[in-house]
Homo-oligomer: A and B are copies of this chain.
Amino acid sequence: MTGESDLASLGALVGDRVRAALLLRLLDGGATTASELAAAAGASASLTSSHLRRLLEGGLVSVTTSGRHRLYRLAGVEVAEMLEAMQLVAPETPVTSLRGERSRRRLRRARLCYDHLAGVLGTAVTDGLVTRGAVVLADGAALGERAEEVLGEVGLDLAPLRARERRLLRECTDWTERRPHLAGAVGAAVATRMIDSAWVVRRPGSRGLDVTADGAAGLEEWLGLRLRDLDGWRETAPGLAG
């Protein structure tokens, strides 16, 4: 019993409706105010505050105070990875409303998984990188021969990434797609690049993403991706923002 890791208290920490909603909301990797978190979790300010305090004490989130706002974020990559691993096991909550169904589909289409792309878009970009020889997913995950070249086309330089101690590539099994997508330093860099170039924009108050017209064009040129043709893409309304 003793000397083991304390799974029980960690599980209990995640095992509350409100706290789980807070963690999922924070899974976009951003810093979020307490009030926005309250809204996202559908809970009162006081309740949210007490739950955030417990998440803080449990080391799952960190906080930086900025003026009269307190910005919460996930405590680190391990927390995000843990949440992803849990989502892979957790059953889906039944969809009750039309709103819920729409937001579920949007989330499935494109979202941030802490710092990299996930959803249909995430797996498609990964597939595209594989096709173009930038990434190899045969045995495990490795950089392909054309990695420098392909990533360079969108202005990504591998050198600074290699310098960091963080693992370059990591596979992350997508919760909705049940297929691997690209994570690690390279996955994060690709996501950052796409946000910076406004190929995708964050959907306010969610970890969901919208692909812009620029993004659709850019992805087709860069990786030969035709978003419209992807499984699970057209299920929803237009899908292009901006």
Interface residues in chain A, defined as those with a beta carbon under 8 Å from any beta carbon in chain B: 1-17, 19-21, 23-24, 42, 59-60, 78-79, 81-97, 100-101, 103-104, 107, 136, 138-143, 167-171, 175, 180, 184
Task: Contact check, B141 vs A3: say whether CB atoms are below 8 A apart.
Answer: no
Q: Distance in Å from the Cβ of A207 to the closest Cβ of chain B?
A: 10
Q: Distance in Å from the Cβ of A143 to the closest Cβ of chain B?
A: 5
Number of copies: 2
Closest 10 CB pairs of A and B: A3-B104, A11-B15, A12-B15, A11-B14, A140-B141, A2-B100, A140-B169, A8-B20, A7-B20, A85-B85
Task: Contact check, B10 vs A89: say whether CB atoms are below 8 A apart.
Answer: yes
Name 8 A/B residue pairs within 8 A (Cβ), A-sorted.
A1-B100, A5-B92, A8-B14, A11-B13, A11-B16, A14-B15, A85-B85, A141-B142
